[in-house]
Structure 1
Amino acid sequence: MFNHVLQPDTQAILLLCASFGQNRQIQPQPLTLSEYNSLTDWLRENQMRPADLLESTAKEQLEKITLNKLNPERLSALLERGMMLSLAVEKWTNQGLWVLGRSDINYPKRLKQRLRHSAPAILYGVGNIELLSLGGLAIIGSRDVDDEILGYTRRVAQNSAVQDMQVISGGARGVDQAAMLGVLDAGGTSVGVLADSLTKAAVNSKYRSSIQEGRLTLVSSYDPEAGFNTGNAMGRNKYIYALADYALVVSSSFGEGGTWAGAVEALSRLQDIPVFVRLEGVVSEGNQQLHNQGAKSFPAEPCNDSLRELLTKAASWIEPIQIKVETTTQETILDIHPQDIYQAILPFILNHLQQPKDAKSLAECLDVRPSQMQDWLNKAVSEGKVRKINRPVAYIVNKPATQLSLL
């Protein structure tokens, strides 16, 4: 349950960053995450902690700040909101909520280690704090899906519960809610990372008994009474992935929506978290495109073996890359494992370089990314198999050193 006595650091962070249910445009405006990060950098440089700003001498220290937007008057005004903080704490306590600042000992280490400065300054929550450290499978998907996808989501969640794997999701209707209720109905545990309305969700009949039993924790980085905001929904996606060991995108649209944006962000920035997509049955274009960008195929049903072992094995499996090669008589598609790809594709590169050709043209011939082709050409030049020509830059086979072969 909520600790009435907040840690001094957490008190300071709340005073600086919390809106206390007010419109964030009301003066003084609470610090954004970016602004708070700038302040923490200044605190470190001056060998201070957030709690030091609560001291009587803090005003003198703040006068030394010259950071853009962080003028001393604004910071002092925020730190003087003690009465608002007291009223908010009393209200949150009555609602069974707790609050963690980023410096709190109970703050999820996964968020700090994986997100660093992108980890939220404040985390509001209800339920068993210990669940935030257990990891598990993040299950994410679109809001508007059919019964077949919802059924699939529930089966995966129930299987997770049977195998003692927690489910992390976003609590939105559709896939997220089906995943959370599925694992809870099967006796498992879940963490819901909400973008809005934490206080309402905390008393929702769907969740209340699981919260009381210690099997469900709901958290949000936004004010507990904040309504839905598209930007907030997008912003919390990375928290869902960062709290998990693995992630499954059940259904995503292509190029738009929170599910797509969150998965693309995870693939590019959270590379230690394997992202899987459902590729069974009717596959959405978004799922197929995510697979093309590096997401892995989720193990097919039924998962009779250990789900965790299957995911670990699948995460380490490097899927073959398709390369299109053309000869004078035919076009061939090769499935090549990345670790073997250079040696496998080299004969085709050399065959195309009987006459000078630039990297971009060669990449188009073999249907690969220009940057990848440039890496291969650099390696071939270093090995003496290809010669670089200047003005204009092009490449040609170094014939005295190379015997062509199209094995």
Structure 2
Amino acid sequence: MQEIISQDSFSTLLLCSFVNPSENIDKGYKPFKQKEWVDLSTKIAKSELERPSNLIKYSHHQIMEILRISDVEAERILTLLSRSSSMALQVEKFNSMGIRIITRADQEYPKRFKKILKSLSPNILYVAGDLSILNSDAIGIVGSRNANEDSLKFTELLTEKAVKEGLVTVSGGSKGIDSVAHNKTLELNGKTIAILSDGLASFIKKKDNLKNILNRNLLVISPYHPNARFYPYTALDRNKYIYALSKLTIATSSDYKKGGTWSGAVENLKNKWVPIYIRKDVQSKGLSELEKLGAVTLTFDELKDPSFIQLINSQINVCCDSQYKTLESESIYKLVWPIIEKHLKKPISIKKLSEELDLEEIQLLSWLNRAKKEEKVVFLNIEIVISSTFYNPEMDSFKQLGLFEIKN
């Protein structure tokens, strides 16, 4: 099992996925959804468990105590983990089909997902193909299924330009613009990434797709179970993954206020994930409105110059520039907070906390009040605090304090 999937990823798979889409789990429990897993994995990482794979080493009561969760939630975790045998068989089956499973716990997981999407990053990815393609700069190409001749021609030209510059193309694997982008890239012996809105089991069974995967020109990624069906909401949901893997994205066609291209472009403009360009078309209501919202236009003539690489390099990466500040510009609070937070996994009095940290109570209280404004801590009363990560809002104050004895 370790050669196929890491232990942490296998535990994540058990907690966040069905063995098959029609599975009925004991007692009606369901795998953890995106936000649920973000909350739970944060608790795990900040607790003595540290990693998902360590959950199997602890009892029901210990998991309740360490993670400060309810009896029902602890039972849910253990029930999901109990499916290891059936899940292992499914993992081996997928592996024999050429489908790998990676999670945020794996080094191969796309770094741009974590950097750009953060908590919106998918819990699990099912992939087929050469993952090293993710290490190259890429541009996203998106558009409608029912595109006109101008948009199809424009897509072919920009795809040719991207391949000549050694860029990877990213699209959604659907009919229309997506297919043109993928097929033209492969025709020119370039590399392309298809982000599917359904399971990839049926996709990789097609002869041409399998051939391109084996030739290491096509990487297929899906955040959905390999046997999952297509749903309109999954098509909308996967758009952000195309943007996140791209240094910039170009929409060559779009309906107005409907369809995946429109919703994906608007979502990207709102969140400012990556620069977005659109084909200049005054006849297209969708593209014209995206221009008003902030998308940059490209005409057929402008497609010739400048190069995409120049466009990519001209973008100021504010995130990276501001992420790493010098030590001198950091406040003392930001430096000491990680140390304080380690002592807040269970309810603790401010007095005891100041003794453990060898700090004046007045100074500590000032930092705790700041942390409260940032929603990092919860005051159970005027004397006792706990990290918001481990605070269980379902418990009343009495039970919240009584779950663990606090010795002063």
**TM-score normalised by L of structure 2:** 0.72
Query: Residues 43-192 of structure 1: matches in 2 within 5 Å?
Result: 43-47=44-48, 48-55=50-57, 57-64=58-65, 65-67=67-69, 71-192=73-194
Find the counterpart in structure 2 of residue 198 from structure 1: 200
Q: Equivalents in 1 of 2:218, 2:302: separation in Å?
A: 26
Unaligned stretches of 5+ residues in structure 1: 317-407
Unaligned stretches of 5+ residues in structure 2: 317-408
Find the counterpart in structure 2 of residue 36 from structure 1: 37
Find the counterpart in structure 2 of residue 391 from structure 1: none
The answer on whether the counterparts of 2:160 and 2:184 sit within 8 Å (CA) in structure 1 is yes
Shift of 1:161: 1.0
Find the counterpart in structure 2 of residue 16 from structure 1: 15
Q: Equivalents in 2 of 1:245, 1:70: separation in Å?
A: 43
Query: Residues 286-365 of structure 1: matches in 2 within 5 Å?
Result: 286-298=286-298, 300-301=300-301, 303-305=303-305, 307-312=307-312
Distance 1:41-1:314 versus aligned 2 partners, 3 A rule: closer
Q: Residue type of the partner of 1:108?
A: P
Shift of 1:217: 0.2
Q: Equivalents in 2 of 1:234, 1:21: separation in Å?
A: 22
The structure with more helix, counted as a fraction of residues: 2
Distance 1:134-1:309 versus aligned 2 partners, 3 A rule: closer
Establish whether residue 275 from structure 1 lines up as the match of residue 276 from structure 2.
Answer: yes
Q: Residue type of the partner of 2:13?
A: L
Shift of 1:21: 1.7
> 1:65-101 CA distances to partner (integer Å, 9 max, x unpaired)?
4558971111110011111211111110111010101
Establish whether residue 7 from structure 1 lines up as the match of residue 9 from structure 2.
Answer: no
Q: Equivalents in 2 of 1:191, 1:61: separation in Å?
A: 43
The answer on whether the counterparts of 2:140 and 2:171 sit within 8 Å (CA) in structure 1 is yes
> 1:268-322 CA distances to partner (integer Å, 9 max, x unpaired)?
11x2511001004x54111111110111112533644452245348867xxxxxx
228-237 or 145-154, larger mean C-alpha shift: 145-154
Q: Residue type of the partner of 1:187?
A: N
Shift of 1:63: 2.2
Distance 1:266-1:161 versus aligned 2 partners, 3 A rule: same
> 1:95-143 CA distances to partner (integer Å, 9 max, x unpaired)?
1010101111111100011111110110100000111232311000111
**TM-score normalised by L of structure 1:** 0.72
Establish whether residue 215 from structure 1 lines up as the match of residue 217 from structure 2.
Answer: yes
Find the counterpart in structure 1 of residue 243 from structure 2: 241
> 1:35-71 CA distances to partner (integer Å, 9 max, x unpaired)?
111101211331421111132x253432234558971
Distance 1:232-1:66 versus aligned 2 partners, 3 A rule: farther
Distance 1:266-1:25 versus aligned 2 partners, 3 A rule: farther
Report the secondary structure of 1:99's partner residue: strand
Shift of 1:3: 7.4
Q: Which structure's relative contact order is higher, taking Cα pairs within 8 Å and 6+ residues apart?
A: 2
Shift of 1:184: 1.1
Report the secondary structure of 2:235's partner residue: helix
Report the secondary structure of 1:247's partner residue: strand
Q: Equivalents in 2 of 1:283, 1:167: separation in Å?
A: 27
Larger Rg: 1
Q: Equivalents in 1 of 2:238, 2:128: separation in Å?
A: 17
Shift of 1:25: 6.6
Q: Equivalents in 1 of 2:21, 2:193: separation in Å?
A: 27
The answer on whether the counterparts of 1:163 and 1:306 sit within 8 Å (CA) in structure 2 is no
Q: Equivalents in 2 of 1:75, 1:233: separation in Å?
A: 29
Shift of 1:147: 3.1
Report the secondary structure of 1:197's partner residue: coil
Q: Equivalents in 2 of 1:128, 1:151: separation in Å?
A: 29
Q: Equivalents in 2 of 1:246, 1:135: separation in Å?
A: 10
Q: Residue type of the partner of 1:308?
A: F
Distance 1:275-1:112 versus aligned 2 partners, 3 A rule: same
The answer on whether the counterparts of 1:296 and 1:314 sit within 8 Å (CA) in structure 2 is no
Q: Residue type of the partner of 1:13?
A: T
The answer on whether the counterparts of 2:280 and 2:299 sit within 8 Å (CA) in structure 1 is no
Shift of 1:205: 2.6
Task: Give the RMSD, CA atoms, in angstroms.
Answer: 2.2
Q: Equivalents in 1 of 2:218, 2:237: separation in Å?
A: 22
Q: Equivalents in 1 of 2:140, 2:2: separation in Å?
A: 28
Find the counterpart in structure 2 of residue 253 from structure 1: 255
Report the secondary structure of 1:145's partner residue: coil
